[in-house]
Amino acid sequence: MGARAQAVEETRQRIVAALVTLAGERPFAEISLDDIATGAGVSVQTVLRRFGSKDRLFADALESAIADVADERRTPPGDVGAAVRTVVDHYEQRGQASLLLLAQEAHDDVARRVTDLGKAMHRTWVRDAFAPATDDEAVLDLLVVATDVYAWKLLRLDRGHSRALTERRLHDLVAAVLAARAHPVSCDTSDTKEH
């Protein structure tokens, strides 16, 4: 790559990084091109020259964030301890931003696209990280819940637990789901209605 092409790519990366940072701090509707340009140390004209539109910039930033999240969440399949540690590390870095996005999903189309993709990625990650136990769809559902950002929030933010204790609690929850799969308990649900 020539020096000019490298400079163009570095500028593009700074712009994308500025948007990703801002999206973790405030709602999408409150992020202007001026804010993004300032965060990247460029002009609005440079942002538009590189991306053409705010929508194209958001799409590129989403692709970049997805690639980063996939890298951050790489886990050897079947290693429960590594999987829980990985997801807690991820939430320590991106949990607040994820919660901000989830708070916007009911009224912001961009946020909803991001959170829908994030939920699908999380489910796929759980399926792969806890295989082969996740061949059972019920176990997969329970592990998705046990490792969800809201489980982290309840323990880490709402209860004020340390990162280490939060990881232990999530590990215990995951282990309980896996143990229940190994030794299923039958319960009579004939008098209950599923909604």
pLDDT exceeds cutoff 80 at 116: yes
Residues 81 and 23 in one domain: no
H helices present in the chain, as ranges: 3-23, 33-40, 44-51, 54-72, 80-104, 109-129, 137-146, 149-152, 163-182
The answer on 23 and 114 residing in a single domain is: no
Mean pLDDT of 50-59: 88
Query: CA 48, CA 139: separation in Å to the nearest integer?
Result: 46
- Is pTM beyond 0.75? Reply is yes
CATH of the domain at 48: 1.10.10.60
- 131: containing domain: 73-182
* Count of the separate structural domains present in the chain: 2
Please check the confidence at residue 187 and state whether its pLDDT lies above 70.
no
